[in-house]
Amino acid sequence: MAASKAGQIGGTLPILPVSDVLDQVADALTDGRRAVLSAPPGAGKTTLVPLWLLDQPWCTGKIILLEPRRLAARAAASRMASLLQETVGERVGYRMRLDNRISSRTRVEVVTEGVFARMILDDPELAGVSVVIFDEFHERSLDADFGLALALDVQTALREDLRLLVMSATLDVDRVAALLGDPPVIKSEGRTFPIDIQYRDRTLNERIEDAVTRAIIETHRQETGSILAFLPGQAEIRLTAERLESRLPAETMIVPLYGNLSQREQDLAIKPAPAGTRKVVLATSIAETSITIDGVRIVIDSGLQRLPVFEPSTGITRLETVRVSRASADQRAGRAGRTEPGIAVRLWHSGQTAALTPFSPPQILASDLSGLVLDLAHWGVQDPSALTFLDPPPKAAFLEAKALLTELGALGVSGSTTEKGKLMRELALPPRLAAMATSAAEEGSGRDACLLAVLMTEQGLGGSDVDLDERLRRFRGERGERAESARKLAERIFSQLPKKATSAGPVSCGRLLLHAYPDRIALQRGGRGRFVLANGRGAELEQTERLAGAAMLVVADLTGRAAQARILSAAEISRVEVEAELPQAIVEREEFFFDRASRQVRARKVTRLGAIVLDETPLPRPRGDVAARALAEGVRELGIRVLPFSKDGAQLRERIGFLHRSIGDPWPDLGDETLLDRLEEWFVPFQGGASGLDAIQPGSLTEGLRSLVPQGILQDLNRLAPTHFQAPTGERHPIRYDGEEPVLTIRVQELFGLKSHPSIAGGRLPLLLELTSPAHRPIQTTRDLPGFWAGSWKDVRAEMRGRYLKHPWPEDPANAMPTTRAKPRGT
C-alpha cells in the first residue's frame, strides 16, 4: 500500500488481500469514471474500498455502497464503523426497508439494492453522491441490474462526474466490463488460506437434511472449529437443527441463519462462539457473500439453493430447489479459508462439479417485472432497450407486467403512469400490494391494508398460518424488535396515503386482497380443499386447514406447478364482497363451446369471474357462425383426423399438398398443423348448418379445401396433378399423392405397347410405377418403363409365366397389345 496515498483514513486501515490493489482502484476512478474489481471472498473489498475512496480528492460527497441483503448491509456498516472507531450512524451508516441509521455526518451509506433503485428514481441527479459501488454484483438481483442501468443512464446524461464501481468475488468480468464500456478491470488475487475440498455423495433417496446432519456429526468429531452448513431453505434448516439437537455436545451451539430472522438472531449467528464452545451455523445462500462468520473453518455444502421462478401466464412466483452454480459452490467453499486453513465438504460426487452451471441465473430472466415496469414508466421509459441492461427483460414477462399494471389502474392506455400509479410507486411496496393500499385508502381502510401489506412482504411475522386474517390478528399484538419495526413501516406507508374517514372496524383480509389479486380469487370446486382460481389454475389446501371448507378465497401465495399447486396463504371472501368490490370483474354473457363428451356444440348463459363460472343456464343448441367457430375449437382440441373427409376430399388434399411440396407457391400447404391454424378460413365459412361433428358434410370439407387455392391456378390442378392415369387399355387408375412422389399401381399387362414412361405435369414429373401381377401382387417398381422392358422384364416374364399360365407374357412387351384379360382358350 502506497503511504503517499493512504490519507487520514487509509493510514488506519488493516492490511488485507485487497490492500494491494486499492491504489489501482482509486487511480482508475480518478482517471476515468468506471471500474470493475474482482476479488475473492475474504479479500476485504466490501469494507476497505469505500473507506479508501473517502480520501480521494474527487470524493467530496457521499459514497453509496449497495449490498444484496440487509444482513450484509448491517454487517458491512458495522465493520467499517469499527475500523473508524465509531458507532454506526456517524461517518458510516446504513439505510434499508425496516431500519435506517444515518446522520448529517454520514459519508458512507450502505444501502440494500432495492433502496438504491428508489433513491435514484426519486433523485435522478444523485445530488451529493460522488461514487456508487455495486458490491457482490455476481448475485445479479433484479434491483442490482436495474440500479446499474439507471446509474449508467444518469452518469451519461446528467452526472459526468459520478463514479461507478462494480465489485464481486465471482464475476463474469468480460460481460460486465463490456457493459460499462471496457473500463479498467482490477483483480485482487487474495491470500485465502488453503481449503481441503472433500466430496461425500448422498446415498440413494437420502433426504438432504439427513445427509447434512451426517456430514456435520462426522466433521465435528474429526475436526476443530465452527461449522457453516448451507441448506436450500428454512424448512431444511429447522429439520436439520432438530436432528442435531441431541447428537452434539452441549458446548456446541446450533444457530440458524436466514433472511426472516430478527437482527438479534442474525447477529448471534455471525458473532464468534464464546470461549470454550463451538458453533454450527445452518444457513441459506444468505451466508455466501458479504459477511464473515467468525471462527468457521468447516463448510458443509448441500449443493442446493432455492430460487424464485416467475410464471408470466399466471402471475405466480414459485420457489424451485435447484443445484447451485460453480461460482456459488466456490463462494461457499471460500467461507472455510478466511481466517485459517479449512475444509469444505460437498455433498455430491466430484464428477458433478463440472456439470454445474458457471453462474446462477440472473433474477431479471425469471422474475415478476411489474415493479420494474412501473419504475421504468416513472423514468419515462416504455421500452427497456432504452436502458443498458446486462440481460434485457424477457418480452413475455414484460408485456404481462404491463397488462397487470393496466388492470390495477397504475398505467393508462398509452403506457404512462396514472395518478394512482404515481401514488403506488411512492409506496415501499410491490405493485399489487401498493394497489391494495391505495384502493383501501379510498374506502377508509388504508391502515389495515398497510399492516397486511407489510405482513406479507416480511415473512414470518404473525406466524405461518395459511389464513391471513389469523396472521394479521397475531401480528397486531406481536412483540419483538422486528414486529415493532414492521408496524412502524406500515405507519410510514399509511402516512403517504390520502386520508379519508376511517372505516368503523377492521376490514377482512379477503376484502382488501381483492384489489391486489383479482386474478387469484378462488372458488371451491371438486371437494374440500380443492379450488379453481380466476386465472384458470387449480390449487389445493390440506383438508385439515380451516380455510379448506371456504366457498371462496383470495389466494395471496402458492407454490408448486400447475397440476399440484399448494396454497401457502389466503383469506376467505364472499361473493357479495366480490360483487361489491370488483363489479367490473364479473361479467354475464352467452357462451358457445364444444362439448368433448358429446362432440356437440353447446350454448349457455354464464356469470363469470375470469375462469370461474359463478352461475350458468343452458340455452338451445346454436346454429350458424357461432356454432361453426365453437366446432372449430373442438377440431383443434381433438385433431384434424376427426373430420369426415370423403375419398375425393382426401385425394384433393393429397394432390394439392404434393404440388406444394414439389412446386411450392402458390400451391398451399395442407398439412395437419396448417389446416388447424387456418380453420377460420376453410372450415368455419362452410359449416353454417352443423352443430356437431356428426353433422359435418364431407362435401363441405372438400369445398373448404378448394377455397384455399387461388382461383387463378385451381384450373391447373387437373393438368398438373390428375386424379387418374388412363392406361393403353382405356381403363382409368387412381394416382396416389400421399408420399414424396406420385404413385401409380397397375397390372403390368395394361401397359403393354407403351414405349414411354407415364408422367404428369406436362411430362415433367414421372410416376413411380408399382407393377403388379394379374392377382394384383407387387412384382416390380420402376421410374423407367422402357428400361424395365429392355432389362429386368426377361426375369419377371420367366417367373410369372409359370404362375399365371392363362395370361400373356410376351417377349417384347413394348410392341404387344395391352390387355385386362387372360389369353383366349386354346391359345
The three three-digit cell numbers of residue 506, written as one number: 377492521
In a domain? residue 285: yes
Give the residue numbers spanning the domain of 239.
195-364
When pLDDT is averaged across residues 283-302 and rounded to a whole number, the result is 83
Measured between alpha carbons, how far is 129 from 148 in angstroms, rounded to an integer?
15
Average pLDDT over residues 229-237: 92
Question: Do 745 and 637 share a domain, yes or no?
Answer: no
Does residue 580 fall inside a structural domain?
no
Q: Which of 705, 721, 737 is the last residue of a domain?
A: 721
Residue 681, C-beta contacts closer than 8 angstroms, at least 6 positions apart: 707, 708
Q: Are strands 108-112 and 62-67 parallel, antiparallel or unpaired?
A: parallel
**For residue range 558-597, what is the model confidence (pLDDT) as tens digits?**
887 666 688 999 999 999 999 999 998 899 999 999 999 9
DSSP symbols for 53-107? HTTSTT--SEEEEEESSHHHHHHHHHHHHHHTT--TTSSEEEE-SS-EE--TT--
The last residue of a domain, from among 171, 187, 203: 187
679 or 270: which leads in pLDDT: 679
pLDDT tier for residue 7 given thresholds of 50, 70 and 90: low
Q: What is the mean pLDDT of residues 267-288?
A: 85
Same domain? 203 vs 83: no
User: In a 3-state reduction of DSSP, which class is residue 572?
Assistant: strand
* The predicted structure's pLDDT at residue 562: 60
- 303-315: per-residue pLDDT in tens? 999 888 777 766 6
- Is residue 251 domain-shared with residue 317, that is, in the same domain? yes
Q: How confident is the model at residue 765 (pLDDT cuts 50, 70, 90)?
A: confident
Which range, of 334-338, 369-373, 483-487, 528-532, averages the lowest pLDDT?
Answer: 334-338
Instruction: Note whether residue 533 is domain-resident.
Output: no
In a domain, 209, yes or no: yes
* Distance from the first to the final alpha carbon of the chain: 118
Q: Are residues 678 and 728 in the same domain?
A: no
Lookup: cell for 492: 410510514
Residue 682: predicted pLDDT? 95
> Residue 410 above 90 pLDDT?
yes
Q: What is the mean pLDDT of residues 152-162?
A: 93
Domain boundary among 426, 451, 467: 426
Same domain, 753 and 734: yes
Mean pLDDT of all residues in 608-635: 91
Q: Is 668 in the same domain as 614?
A: yes
Asked whether residue 99 falls in the same domain as residue 134, the answer is yes
Average pLDDT over all residues of the chain: 89
Lowest pLDDT segment from 193-207, 467-481, 501-515, 670-684: 501-515
- pLDDT value at residue 336: 87
Q: Same domain, yes or no, for 302 and 344?
A: yes
pLDDT digits (tens, 9 = 90+) for 650-662: 999 999 999 898 8
CA 213 distance to own-chain centroid: 33
- Identify the H or E element spanning 376: helix 370-379
* Pairwise CA distance, residues 195 & 334, whole Å: 8
The torsion angles phi and psi of 92, rounded to 5 degrees, stand at -120, 130
**Residue 666 shares a structural domain with residue 789:** no
Of the candidate ranges 86-100, 503-517, 637-651, 748-762, the one whose mean pLDDT is the lowest: 503-517
- Dihedral sign for Cα atoms in the order 675, 677, 683, 687: positive
- Counting the structural domains of the chain, the total is 5
**Unique residue bearing C-alpha cell 397486511:** 452
Residue in the structure block whose three cell numbers are 449508467: 152
| Alpha carbons 688 and 668: distance in angstroms, whole number | 24
Q: Is residue 18 part of a domain?
A: yes
Residue 101 and residue 225 share a domain:
no
Query: Cell digits for 454?
Result: 407489510
Q: pLDDT of 437-487, one tens digit each? A: 999 998 889 999 999 999 998 878 888 899 999 999 999 989 888 889 889
Q: Indicate the burial class of 309 (C-beta count within 10 angstroms; 0-12, 13-18, 19 or more).
A: middle
Q: Which residue has the cell 353454417?
A: 688
Q: Does residue 43 carry a pLDDT above 90?
A: no
3-state secondary structure of 533: strand
Model confidence at 787, in pLDDT bands (50, 70, 90)? very high
CA distance 281 to 470: 32
CA–CA gap between residue 108 and residue 252 (Å, rounded) = 37
Q: Answer whether residue 471 is part of any domain.
A: no
SS3 477: helix
Label residue 782 by pLDDT band (50, 70, 90): very high
CATH number at residue 236: 3.40.50.300
Together in a domain, 641 and 708: yes
Q: Please name the residue that has the C-alpha cell 456446541.
A: 252
Domain co-membership, 655 together with 615: yes
Q: What pLDDT, on a 0 to 100 scale, did the predictor assign at position 802?
A: 79
Q: Are 489 and 472 in contact (CB under 8 A)?
A: no
pLDDT reported for residue 286: 80
Give the separation between CA 256 and CA 269, rounded to whole angstroms. Answer: 7
Report whether pLDDT(674) > 70: yes
Percent of the chain with pLDDT over 70: 96
Closest CA to 288 of 273, 279, 272, 301: 301
- The pLDDT of 74-99, averaged and rounded, is 91
Q: Give the per-residue pLDDT at 3.
A: 36
Q: Which pLDDT belongs to residue 827?
A: 53
User: pTM score > 0.85 for this model?
Assistant: no
- What DSSP string describes 254-317? EEEE-TTS-HHHHHHHHSPPPTT-EEEEEE-GGGSSS---TTEEEEEE--EEEEEEEETTTTEE
Task: Please report whether residue 280 resides in a domain.
Answer: yes
Q: What pLDDT is recorded for position 1?
A: 39
Provide mean pLDDT across the span 203-221: 92
- Residue 683 covered by a domain: yes
Cβ contacts of residue 197 below 8 Å, gap of 6+? Answer: 333, 344, 346
pLDDT of residue 110 exceeding 90: yes
In this predicted structure, what is the pLDDT of residue 161? Answer: 93
Task: Summarize the confidence of residues 293-300 as an average pLDDT.
Answer: 87
367 — pLDDT class (breaks 50, 70, 90) = confident
165: helix, strand or coil: strand
